[in-house]
Structure 1
């Protein structure tokens, strides 16, 4: 569409002098570039000088951190932790008979029962907090997929709600279950 408009304007300008009429529409600004032949090394130097004169776009350092940043990053980290743990355990379970490891349920229950209480709590917390955060944030993202809760205040509120539910659920499953 735009190319047709440019073509029509150009055609009108070309015909206008012969009929002594003014062309309709806006004037197209023309810039004539000065060109010269330069060696490759000279071109590289010119480009380097031009890059020094360019303004630097704002970086993350000028922005105030927000729950959406941390929520997005934490959601990805928890996904990696949970899926990585699953893959490591799954591969270990598959190669256990070959290596002589005992990863059947009875052996694992007996091994964990022998752990000190602090190690049990640390293991439960290491799995509970990422699991619950990823679950609650996943529900939040599913709501966004349906177009629910996309306002700025709602996004912030649901982000902190996911964090709150994660803390409560993580503590409950770490210490009481």
Structure 2
């Protein structure tokens, strides 16, 4: 700051800096500000603003080819929601039902659905659990910074899928 004042003093005389108006030279100039009301921008939506600016709409997922990585991510979220729904449904059923769970299992056995149908039902219930479990393990390994190249992501994706299906099959035949 002192450098600025020194340079100003060298260029101008002291009277100009102090504002000597007798000589007509004044370094300090009076400024008047005129107040006016602020312009309030009109509320417009995202789409309206982009159309006015000539921007194209973002493409939807339907134009992209399905990839293993995106499908595994979507399936992981879906299986998490399915497991939550299982938990809520079983909890509410256990709380509201006058019968105990062994009685419900006995009633299911009385339907005589056959071993294949029971195994298919067990697989349907077990697959979201095994998929979410193995994909969660995969994500935990990623958190350590391992297997993050595209080639390794696809390899671990296929490995996780095979482990999930094999585990669900094992659980469904027990």
TM-score bucket of the superposed structures, by smaller chain: 0.5 to 0.7
Aligned counterpart in structure 2 of residue 50 of structure 1, from 49, 52, 70: 52
Q: Please identify which structure carries the higher helix content.
A: 1
The correspondence of residues 160-175 of structure 1 with structure 2, limited to 5 A, is 160-174=158-172
CA contact (8 A) 2:50 2:56 kept: no
Moved over 6 A (4+): none
CA distance in 1, matches of 2:83, 2:65: 29
The correspondence of residues 126-165 of structure 1 with structure 2, limited to 5 A, is 126-165=124-163
**Equivalent residues, number:** 133
TM-score under structure 2 length normalisation: 0.64
- The Cα shift of 1:62 comes to 4.4
In the other structure, the counterpart of 2:99 is 102
CA contact (8 A) 1:112 1:120 kept: no
Two-structure CA RMSD over aligned residues (Å): 3.0
* Per-residue deviation, residues 139-170 of structure 1 (Å, max 9, x unmatched): 00111112121111111111111111122222
Unmatched 5+ stretches in structure 1: 1-10, 19-36, 41-45
TM-score under structure 1 length normalisation: 0.63
**Larger relative CO (CA 8 A, sep 6+): 1 or 2?**
1
CA distance in 1, matches of 2:141, 2:51: 49
The correspondence of residues 104-123 of structure 1 with structure 2, limited to 5 A, is 104-105=101-102, 107-115=103-111, 116-117=113-114, 118-123=116-121
Unmatched 5+ stretches in structure 2: 12-38, 43-47
- The Cα shift of 1:125 comes to 1.5
- The structure with the larger Rg is 2
CA distance in 2, matches of 1:132, 1:91: 23
- The Cα shift of 1:68 comes to 1.0
For residue 56 of structure 2, give the secondary structure of its aligned residue in structure 1. coil
